[in-house]
A and B are shown apart, each in its own frame.
Chain A
Amino acid sequence: MISRRDFIKYSLQGIAAIAVPLTAIEIINPSKLFASKDAKKIRWGFLVDTGKCIGCGFCVKACQNENEIPYDINASRTWVERYVLTKDGKVLADSPKAGRDGFITGKIELGQGKYQDIKDEDIEKAFFVPKLCNQCENPPCVQVCPVGATYQTEDGVVLVDRKWCIGCGYCIMACPYGVRFFHPVYHAAEKCNFCYHRITKGLKTACVQACPFGARLIGNINDPNDEVGRIIRTERVSVLKDEFGTKPQVYYRGLSKEVR
């Protein structure tokens, strides 16, 4: 037999439980929970200012030396793209040798040894766009790896376990940004990892350090006092291929719709 007091108590509790909005019992997002618990938790992010990039390619050269990428292979962890938009609406883009030696000629590389000359007066817009791994919040490369050889660290950087990688190439196909390639020496998938050995020691990445113009910045996007964190919070920035839902963490200033 239930007492009157208990009956009223349970009734009120039941009503209160029903009144809880659905959002309150939604599946908890662990990363949000961690962020609210510890605001100092690092989440590495990158900011590229395309207006400042002048296409010198020092970043690519430094990256290849720092990360032991053989000089002659036609692949790089980071690269610089040149976009030239002509007045008659054509979009030309190239990245000769990943931009390793800079852009010393106005001719656009078309591949297979062909080049296209563009007259100065025909150029409507022209600019350089550095590219690198976006260290996505939802990395498709990690999702497809059949052996768990590529993974995301707690601070958001996607790494490759060279000993564990079987070289199937799924991740290379899965990356919408085309940042992955095979390392010819280690025979494993290779990608930019924000110079993990440097950033975890408090240094800047090799490309950020080598850039004379401040077109590249790395920082903790969880920290509002960090330069990158502040700019992403307070200024207009965009990301590449937002529609893929990968949540890339490389932010761009001054991106144009022609850049993909």
Chain B
Amino acid sequence: MKSHVWRPLYAVIGIVALILIVRVFVVPESFGVHERGYMYGWYNKADEGSWKGVTVKYKSSDYCKDCHSDKYSSIMQTPHAIIQCENCHGPAMDHPENPARLFIDKSRGQCLRCHSRLPYPTSDRAKIRGIDPGKHNPGIECAACHNPHKPSLEGLK
């Protein structure tokens, strides 16, 4: 065969070779077919580590109870014991170093999440004591009268 037939073939072989060489440098070694085979198994296994390394922000009430034992033990006597400290006080992260002070959500909306009355027959929501936010002292923070750490009506300020 004449060289004009071979020349484009050499060019194609050259391009393929170039792609394979680039692939060696660009595609990480851990990329390939893993446990689940060809349909579900293509991925870079090394990436799992980057997800495992994400910072944990919510530390749970167990993290709070040693230093704030007074607050912790008092709220444990109330129906609000089921609520995590961090739900209102914000994620602890590395508190007390970072952040030194936590932002406390004292907004009306925070209380209304549960205590806005919704009479839903097939949900436990109806069993929670609730108010009509439009009629019950609208515009005033609940914490102005109620103590969230002592939520019974005897705990009114």
Other than the given A52-B124, A57-B113, 17 more pairs (CB < 8 A) read A30-B37, A55-B118, A65-B57, A66-B58, A104-B113, A120-B119, A126-B121, A127-B120, A143-B39, A143-B40, A159-B48, A193-B51, A200-B52, A201-B52, A209-B60, A210-B86, A212-B84
The answer to whether A198 touches B56, judged by C-beta atoms less than 8 angstroms apart, is: yes
Determine which of A65, A123, A162, A203 lies in contact with B91 in the assembled complex, contact meaning CB atoms within 8 Å: A65
Q: Which of B5-13, B16-24, B28-36, B148-156 contacts A (4 or more CB under 8 A)?
A: B28-36
Q: Mark B116-150, 1 if CB is under 8 A from A, else 0.
A: 10111111110010000100000000000000000
Can you give 7 contacting A-B residue pairs, CB < 8 Å? A30-B37, A67-B54, A126-B120, A148-B31, A196-B52, A197-B51, A197-B56
The residue from B109, B120, B128 contacting A101, defined by CB atoms under 8 A apart? B109
Q: Is the CB of A126 within 8 A of B118?
A: yes
Residues of B participating in the A interface, judged by any CB pair closer than 8 Å: 31, 34-37, 39-44, 47-48, 50-58, 60, 82-84, 86-87, 90-91, 109, 112-114, 116, 118-125, 128, 133
- Residues of chain B within 8 A of A209, CB atoms compared: 58, 60, 84
Contacting residues, chain B, for A162 (C-beta < 8 A): 50
A210 touches B118 (CB 8 A): no
Evaluate contact between A62 and B87: CB separation under 8 angstroms: yes
Say what secondary structure dominates the interface of chain A. loop
Q: Which of A52-94 contact B (CB under 8 A)?
A: 52-58, 61-62, 65-67, 84
Q: Are A128 and B123 in contact (CB under 8 A)?
A: yes
Among A9-17, A150-158, A167-175, the stretch that binds chain B is A150-158
What chain A residues lie within 8 Å of B116 (beta carbons)? 102-105
Contact A197 B52 (CB under 8 A): yes
* Alpha-carbon distance between A16 and B57 when the two chains are bound, in angstroms: 62
The 3 closest A-B pairs by CB, nearest first: A151-B43, A102-B113, A148-B42
How many angstroms from the CA of A101 to the CA of B83 in the assembled complex? 16
Determine the chain B residues whose CB is within 8 A of the CB of A123 once the complex forms: 119-121
Contacts of B31 in A (CB 8 A): 148
